[in-house]
Structure 1
Amino acid sequence: MLIGKKHFLTVGAMALAMAIAAPVAAQQKSVAVTAIVEHPALDAVRDGVQDALKQAGYEPGKNLKWQYQSAQGNNGTAAQIARKFVGDRPDAIVAIATPSAQAVVAATKDVPVVYSAVTDPVAAQLVPSMDASGTNVTGVSDLLALDKQVELIKKIVPNAKRVGMVYNPGEANSVVVVKKLQEILPKAGMSLVEAAAPRSVDVASAARSLIGKVDVIYTNTDNNVVSAYESLVKVGNDAKIPLIASDTDSVKRGGIAALGINYRDLGVQTGKIVVRILKGEKPGAIPSETSSKLELYVNPGAAAKQGVTLPDAVIKSAAVVVK
């Protein structure tokens, strides 16, 4: 009888443990995150997503399975990661930057997809409009008002007539920016001079091709350019060409100024959408979002190296002055 009683107690304890564990297992969620490349802006988006999930009570190792993979700038790798993640069937896939988002959206019509740091999700064919898509896709755009970017260029280089831009012609968001700049720069008495950099290793040579042809170089959030920004800075310093960016982290790396989005905040905004999906909302019922919160970063030291002096008014209006 004693052995039987012990056996009964053991079975009972196991059943109780399973009963307690069952609700925890039911609460387990899975989020897979992919980015086209690793650089400060996209890394900040990833970290911001994780911050938002933690704030909502979703923590890796407790009630959240978290996966992250970078495509290291390779579109073929981005497609492989997309197929792998879709096969894993997570509760949501977060795709950071246009090429990764396009790869994931092409790979699934039912797994929830939340894009982030995509300049024009409609042109990239991720969603039909910024309204609720009715599909498995929603997300957050980092689209900037380019008229404000042109105003910043005029403030820092008042006599600029020719604006150079290094970009990847294979990246949809960069092509959109080029087309818009071609439209609005002439209205400000300036013209655009383009230099193609299909790969990160092409950024330096593309920048050198602009020497003698431009008065200033503007960079958007093109992933090839941002990932190789130091090579652009070397050309700017050597040739005394001012560098103005839309990615604020680029200012810390040697750009003169940037009026841009805080990408950590953009990641948090993205993560809040992911939380809504984890709690049962359909991505197709959630409109795409943008961020209207812009911050000005300036780097007086970089300005001196590139042959210009930042106006006091610009420095005083900056959220961050890089020393």
Structure 2
Amino acid sequence: MGAKQGVAHIFIAVENSTVNAGQEISCIAHLLLNEKIKFASLDITFTGRERLRFQGDGIKTGKYNFIQFKNSLLQPGQKEIQAGSYSFPFIIEIPKNVPGTFKANMKRFEAKIQYKVKVELRSNKELIGKSKSEIIVEQTFDQNRYSVLTNHAGTIVCCDCCRKGVCELVAHIDKNAYLPQENAKLWVSVNNGNSRRALSGIGVMFWRVIRLISHDNEVGVFKKCIFNTNVNVNVASGEKLLTGKEIQIDIPIYSKEIELDQCVTTVGKIVQCRYFIEITTDFGRCMSRIVDFEVPLIVVPKFIPPEMPSAPEDWHPVEMPMARFSSYESETS
């Protein structure tokens, strides 16, 4: 609990510190006063903010506030708070179309999308005590962690410009949204029936691409391979590996070198991060064109909730009325 000269102690307890965009967060502001506060104000502030910094043509920075909401927890006309202990429950509605929480701190760039709820107690505009807590927001996509099917047909061309037919690939993963530390299962079926070349191998690369836009509209793109592997398949000309014969590849959603717990999929205005699986094919030498395509994949946040401090032994607060606030009106255009 934050305090000034022992007059007041404030702590925000967040019931659901990780929520989806479009949902509600339930909080309680616990207040312990050792003396009466006159000309009091007890305000909550809910903010959503994007920040970035990267090396471009010089050092580039950017900031965008998409939520800046403030309201009072006191009853209309209330100007005093008697000494004692109080609990102020409140609910904040989060807009649907907001980006997900994100944090990346690399050598070449820094970026974050952060949500915070803060409570401040003032007496005659002088700050007496405050408390704040971070809220983890998961961006809503058209997902629900379902399987994704991706089809691709490519024409095979030899170095002497002779067409060698068409190879068709169909790829899907068991779900399109994963937590860090999970494994994605990729299935690839091959229709080499119209090809006159054997498919010798398939390459798989798991990519992360971060796109940052500075305040002067300079764009920084940072692409990183998280995982890669090559699989020998030896699919002969005219052969088909379809349902029941697919090639299965496990892709780890983690890296010893890269922290993914907070570096998740998000689409903000100036901070964007996406993940995808790139599939390439190997038809041997003298091939001037290969079949390659992408399978999108979503990484969702995995956060450990903060520890709550223990309440005092004599903590028997007065329960105040529930307050409900909508942060929709505070969205910045």
Measured against the shorter chain, the TM-score band is under 0.3
Compare the two structures and name the one with the higher helix fraction: 1
Relative to total residues, which structure has the larger strand share, 1 or 2? Answer: 2
Structure 1 or 2, whichever has the larger Rg, is 2
TM-score (norm 2): 0.24
